[in-house]
């Protein structure tokens, strides 16, 4: 759903979207939570739990 300065999506689609950005060569992403309708703390916890592991684990496995 489009919103001011971006769009609203769930964690599953965010993983897909970030993976697509990675595939086309994007190395850095900024997330603006200024217009977030929920608790910032809960949103960050959800991102840490459901999104970041898809990308962070890959980095750890490459180092091993």
User: In terms of Cα–Cα distance, which of 2, 24, 14 is closest to 48?
Assistant: 14
Task: Label residue 38 by pLDDT band (50, 70, 90).
Answer: confident
Predicted TM-score (pTM) of the model is 0.73
User: What letter does residue 24 receive in the DSSP assignment?
Assistant: T
What's the CA gap between 22 and 20, in Å, rounded?
5
Q: Of 58 and 31, which is predicted with more confidence? A: 31
State residue 11's pLDDT score. Answer: 92
Range of the domain at 52: 2-63
Task: Label residue 21 by pLDDT band (50, 70, 90).
Answer: very high
Number of separate domains in the chain: 1
State residue 59's pLDDT score. Answer: 55
Q: From the CB of residue 41, how many other CB atoms can be counted at a distance below 10 Å?
A: 8
């Amino acid at each position: 759903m489009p919103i001011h300065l971006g769009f609203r999506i769930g964690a599953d689609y965010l993983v897909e979207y970030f993976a697509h950005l990675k595939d086309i060569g994007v190395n850095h992403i900024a997330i603006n939570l200024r217009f977030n309708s929920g608790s910032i703390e809960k949103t960050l916890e959800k991102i840490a739990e459901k999104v970041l592991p898809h990308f962070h684990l890959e980095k750890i496995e490459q180092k091993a």
